[in-house]
Amino acid sequence: MIRVLFAAKPEVWQSYRDVLPTAFADHGLAAEIVQLTDPHDPATIDWIVYAPNSELQDFTPYATLKGVQTLWAGVEQVEGNRTLTAPLMRMVDDGLTQGMVEWVTGHVLRHHLGMDAHIDGAAWAPVAPPLAADRPVAMLGMGVLGAACARALATLGFPVTGWSRSPKAVAGVRSVTGRDGLRDALSGAQIVVLLTPHTAATENLMNTETLGWMRDGAALINPGRGALIDDAALLAELPRLGHATLDTFRVEPLPQDDPYWVHPKVTVTPHIASATRPASAARVVAENIRRGEVGDPLLHLVDRSAALA
């Protein structure tokens, strides 16, 4: 019998209470699932299904742990935890990816087509937008989510430049890296999408200097992480930029007195760009644990070398 600890907020468990046992059974796993609040002996736990905002932050008692499968795509809150020595796997779920593709595509098209002018305005101004081929897009971050969004936009005809730590081969997408590549991507784009992970290297990625590389009138879309943006710098640059659509923030919920709420060039969405779908995520959890139990390579294993250096 495999013993699995579910370490997440109680309300999250409500979403997984039925689908996780079903997924385990479908994958041929005989598993006992305990919640963090249940009495349990840490030394008997084989696997942890984990949300990084869980109260579990010290993994030291879980001495025989085989691995930790997160429920989030982002792992920056846990990858540097030195008490965790077992393998860490990020959540890569088809539902999460598709949700992000739909949200990003929708907001890119909103800015591309100039929808706000027709939704908010009453004037008859028959000015057609350019075609997608004439609206370059920069995708900062070319992981699973960024690559999927870049591919979708390229399919629609947008010229997409993807910036990442290392070169990426995505059909129809130009790949650039490094500081020069970042400047190239930002200066050439009319719409910029942020989907890099939050690391020490990407903290305040969009600052006074890099925001200054963006074109006048360009739109910035952030479904990634709030800490990717220097908020004071963005507020200072907004007069010459076109718009900022922001889904993630340093403090969430976004405080009611935050200037983003009332700024005429800012759209706030409440961290809804994408979410893990419990039914499909449960299958990812079960498959990874199945793999670990039979000795197959784990999926979506996090390289923690940089975070622990």
Distance CA 182, CA 60 (A): 40
Which pLDDT belongs to residue 60?
97
**Considering 3, 165, 271, 277, which one is annotated as catalytic?**
271
Structure-token pair, residue 196: 């890099």
Structure-token pair, residue 252: 């969430």
Taken as a whole, the chain contains a residue count of 309
Which pLDDT belongs to residue 207?
98
278-294 and 94-113 helices, crossing angle to 10°:
140
Residue 103's identity, in one-letter code, is W
**Considering 135, 225, 283, 304, which one is annotated as catalytic?**
225
Three-state DSSP class for residue 212: helix
Which pLDDT belongs to residue 125?
84
Query: For domain 94-268, is the CATH number 3.40.50.720?
Result: yes
pLDDT per 10-residue tile (average), the chain, 309 residues: 96 96 98 96 98 96 97 90 96 92 98 92 86 98 96 98 96 97 98 94 97 98 97 98 98 97 98 92 97 97 80
> For the sheet containing 173-177, what is the strand order?
173-177, 160-164, 137-140, 191-194, 219-222, 243-246, 266-268
Residue 288's identity, in one-letter code, is N
Is residue 271 among the annotated active site residues? yes
Is residue 300 among the annotated active site residues? no
Which pLDDT belongs to residue 76?
87
Which pTM was predicted? 0.88
Distance CA 92, CA 89 (A): 9
Distance CA 160, CA 157 (A): 9
Which pLDDT belongs to residue 308?
72
Which pLDDT belongs to residue 127?
87
The class that CATH gives domain 2-93+276-308 is alpha beta
Question: Do 2-93+276-308 and 94-268 fold alike per CATH?
Answer: yes
Domain coordinates in residue numbering, the chain: 2-93+276-308, 94-268
Which pLDDT belongs to residue 304?
86
What is the distance, to the nearest Å, from the Cα of residue 222 to the centroid of all Cα atoms in its chain? 10
